[in-house]
Amino acid sequence: MSSEKFIRNKTALITLIAASLVVLISLGVRQTFGMFFMDFREDLGISLTQSGLSIGLQMLMWGLTGPIFGVIADKYGGHKAISLAFIFFIAGVYFLYAGPNTGIFFQIDLGILVGIGLGGTAISIPMSVVGKHFPLSNRTIAMSIVTAVGSFGYFLSPILTEYSLTENGWQNTLVAFMIALAVGFVISFLVRSPSLKDTIEQPNTQSTLEAVKEALGSKSYLLLVSGFFVCGFHITLVGTHVPTYVIDRGLESWTAAAILSLIGLFNIFGSLTSGYLSTIMSKKVILSAIYGLRGLTIILFIFLPASNINSFIFGASFGFLWLSTVPATSGIVAHMFGTKYLGLLYGFVFLSHQIGSFFGAFLGGLFHDLYGSYDYAWYLAIALSVFAAIIHLPIKEQPVLRLKTE
């Protein structure tokens, strides 16, 4: 990390803290929807394929609306984009609780409305706003802090959700979710983009369309987009279907909750480690290693005997690799193109992530309903690990010509 002053002003500090709390709440709620699937099947008659489809739609809407919220954040300020997204998030959880919540309405509630909410509250928009406050030398560290604090939501939420589902039922648990999201809505007004006098970016007269054309004309950007597809597939397959997978293998529901909590806990360390390493070594090498190690972790998890200890080892190891891709990926985007349109350009990268998430959620449920197991989904996840590990290596980590000549 650079010796340059890390926190440049009060606004940067408040934004860093507020953005981290927003992501903590958003990801904490989002992480545990897979734990509701059994209750949804019993009380609402929702099949695993339907539940998987809803999460797939959620991921897709998250990705599709990310660039839109990115434009709003880049042009009007991060607080406006994030607070608007929280309104959709709360509405989705409310209708899932109060109804209508069956048939097509289940897909609208959990898939579309919650997905739109995630598009502006989870990781990409809060993190891109934070990135605008920090110079290149410290940017990945600041972004990794947002990811790490958000990961604490991943750790805490499964424990609290498992307890609440057991003691209070799924409907009262959704009420608790709405309260947490309302708190996030209030905090979102503190996530402020830097003023003109505080901005660290060099003057940039590019239009939005010119920025998009420049990015899509970069081979390295397209490789980064392709690799992040794999990240989305992995994360959503694991986060959505591991609860059912471990029960299928004869383990108990608390084991599934423990896996998700361990993922959140060790993701804190993984994100911070990735953020630090990104300041001293090649980000593309870090990403290649992460994807390769994910494949190895999945292989060990599915082929070793089912046991609590093996499940816990998987949760810890996969958690370390969970969102460790984010600081390096977003750092490359900011380094290549600058920060003026970071919300938009990282939003397009994240759209690819969410398309991968759609397939991870949907294919996991579909394969299980068709074949009675998740085997084919795991095999596909391993193959994609190899693909992602390879395609990151040709990426050129350098600013575009426009930034070199300014």
Q: What pLDDT is recorded for position 225?
A: 93
pLDDT digits (tens, 9 = 90+) for 277-290: 988 899 999 999 99
Residues 327 and 275 sit within 8 Å (Cβ to Cβ): yes
The predicted model gives 190-202 an average pLDDT of 71
| Domain, as residue range, for 248 | 10-405
The residue with greater pLDDT, 335 or 233, is 233
pLDDT at 401 over 70: no
Whether residue 406 has pLDDT greater than 60 = no
Residue 364 lies in a domain: yes
At 172, the pLDDT band (50, 70, 90 cuts) reads very high
pLDDT given at position 191: 93
Q: In whole angstroms, give the CA distance from residue 299 to residue 146.
A: 30
Q: Is the pLDDT at 136 greater than 80, yes or no?
A: no
Per-residue pLDDT tens over the stretch 207-234:
888 888 888 889 999 999 999 999 999 9
Q: Could you tell me the pTM of the whole model?
A: 0.77
What percentage of the chain has pLDDT greater than the value 70? 93
What is the pLDDT at residue 204? 63
Is residue 302 a part of any domain in this protein?
yes
Is 132 part of any domain? yes
CATH number for 329: 1.20.1250.20
Q: Is the pLDDT of residue 378 over 90?
A: yes
On the question of pLDDT at 317 being above 90, the answer is: yes
pLDDT of residue 198: 58
Q: What is the pLDDT of residues 231-281, one digit of tens each?
A: 999 998 998 888 889 989 989 888 988 898 898 889 889 988 988 898 889
In total, how many domains does the chain have?
Answer: 1
* Mean pLDDT score, 114-136: 87
End-to-end CA distance of the chain: 25
Question: Three-state SS for 194?
Answer: coil
Q: Give domain status of residue 398, yes or no.
A: yes
pLDDT score of 201? 57
| pLDDT tier, 341 (very low <50, low <70, confident <90, very high otherwise) | confident
pLDDT of residue 3: 46
Q: Which residues in 172-194 are b (16+ Cβ under 10 Å) and which e? A: ebbeebbebbeebbebbebbbbb
**What is the reported pLDDT for 280?**
87
3-class secondary structure, 272: helix
Residue 5 inside a domain? The answer is no
Domain-located, residue 114 = yes
Q: Report d(CA 193, CA 131) in Å as an integer.
A: 9
Q: Tell me if 150 sits within 8 A of 13, measured CB to CB.
A: no
Q: What pLDDT is attached to residue 17?
A: 93
- With tokens 């699937």, the residue in question is 37
CA triple 129-130-132, angle to 5 deg: 70
pLDDT at 362 over 90: no
pLDDT at 79 over 70: yes
Q: Using CA atoms, how far apart are residues 333 and 183, in angstroms rounded to an integer?
A: 31
109 located within any domain: yes
pLDDT at 5: 63
Percent residues over pLDDT 90 in the chain:
45
Mean of all residue pLDDT scores within the chain: 88
User: What are residue 4's phi and psi, to 5 degrees?
Assistant: -60, 145
* pLDDT score of 1 more than 70: no
Residue 68 domain-assigned (yes or no): yes
Mean pLDDT of 285-310: 95
Residue with the bigger pLDDT between 230 and 331: it is 230
- pLDDT at residue 148 greater than cutoff 60: yes
| Segment among 87-101, 178-192, 339-353 with least mean pLDDT | 339-353
